[in-house]
Amino acid sequence: MSHAPVTETLPPVAMRAAGAVPRHVAVVMDGNGRWARQRYMPRFFGHKQGVDTLVRTVNAFAARGVEYLTVFAFSSENWKRPSEEVSGLMGLVLVAVSKYLGKMANDGVRIRIIGDRSAVSEKLRRAWEHAEAITAHNARITLSVAFNYGGRWDVVQACRQAIAQGVAPEQVDEEWLSRHMALAFAPDPDLFIRTGGEMRMSNFLLWQAAYSELFFTECLWPDFGDAEIDAALAAYAQRDRRFGGIRPNEVVPEGT
Ligand code: IPE
Ligand code: IPE
Ligand code: MG
């Protein structure tokens, strides 16, 4: 086996200096229910507050130079919740679209929805399509809302596309699958944040987060704001991303 110099085998991004702002941030917006319970309110109150937090957060990340924000709003597994909570969340999405879409469109936000749309109502599907259509030309930040999304679902749906298109097995590689997964239009997330104190991924972006930097905070999602964003970005700026390689300053120049 030949040993190529490390500099040739590392992807260019591995060389990026520490201190950079992440291009793509993914967030598991968790803790709405506990936030409401702390106030002796029904869980729905927390979800409602969570929508307002999301709208603020998109602008805060955009102001700091983040280009893509992908948020987990409803997982493939969240159907297991009591039916009143599920239908409350579906209704809340419709209200949120009518309340905030105009503002987001004016703020330069491009909205994308990722997830399995087949299980949601026609009304919701049309609201998503409308939100995507009227923000399609915005370029300040891309907000991808993961709704009825699961990382496992994403891998399966990409494989199904390969089979349906009759793609030869040897053509199905990591690059092909990446191009057919839900976030094909975005670079992989650089920073993966979870609020609410749990330290797990709960089936979010399993494929795309392979080399994301992880940041967990006890802060409940409705309380997430500038202080937590700055803490997450500061932690990210200290990380040393190697992608399986070695640190750039450890690369010995050829011929020494
Ligand atoms: C996250 O908050 C929002 C959704 C999953 C829709 P939770 O509803 O999971 O809140 P906790 O984790 O019970 O506090
Ligand atoms: C993850 O939170 C899903 C979303 C934030 C939409 P959950 O509250 O559903 O995750 P678990 O059940 O604690 O793993
Ligand atoms: Mg939760």
Residue 239 CA, ligand 1 centroid: distance in Å = 28
Q: Which atom of ligand 1 is nearest to the CA of 89?
A: 6
- Please determine, for residue 5, whether its predicted confidence score (pLDDT) is greater than 50: no
pLDDT at 177: 98
Q: For 200-242, what is each residue's pLDDT tens digit? A: 999 999 999 999 999 999 999 999 999 999 999 999 999 999 9
Nearest Cα to Cα of residue 65 among 102, 23, 34: 23
pLDDT at 146: 98
Residue 194 CA, ligand 2 centroid: distance in Å = 10
Q: What are the tokens at 236? A: 């990210």
> Quick one: which ligand is closest to 74's CA?
2
How many Å apart are CA 65 and CA 80, to the nearest integer? 37
pLDDT at 19: 64
- Computed over its alpha carbons, how large is the radius of gyration of the chain? 20
The torsion region of residue 99 among left (phi > 0), alpha (psi -120 to 50) and beta comes to: alpha
How many Å apart are CA 110 and CA 132, to the nearest integer? 7
Residue 30 CA, ligand 2 centroid: distance in Å = 6
Question: pLDDT class for 248, splitting at 50, 70, 90?
Answer: confident
pLDDT at 2: 40
Active-site residue list: 30, 78
User: Average pLDDT over the chain, rounded to whole?
Assistant: 93
pLDDT at 247: 81
Fold of the domain spanning 24-237: Undecaprenyl pyrophosphate synthetase (3.40.1180)
190 or 13, higher pLDDT: 190
Query: Residue 106: CB partners within 8 Å, gap ≥ 6?
Result: none
The answer to whether the CB of 19 falls within 8 A of the CB of 204 is no
32 CB within 6 A, ligand 1: yes
Q: What are the tokens at 115? A: 């997830």
Residue 28 CA, ligand 1 centroid: distance in Å = 9
| Residue in 28, 34, 194 to alter for ligand 1 test, most ligand atoms within 8 A of Cβ | 34
How many Å apart are CA 140 and CA 91, to the nearest integer? 28
Q: Which atom of ligand 1 is nearest to the CA of 74?
A: 6
28 CB within 6 A, ligand 2: yes
Q: How many angstroms separate the Cα of 195 from the Cα of each of 91, 214, 228?
A: 23, 11, 9
- Please determine, for residue 83, whether its predicted confidence score (pLDDT) is greater than 70: yes
Q: Which atom of ligand 1 is nearest to the CA of 35?
A: 14
> Quick one: which ligand is closest to 204's CA?
2
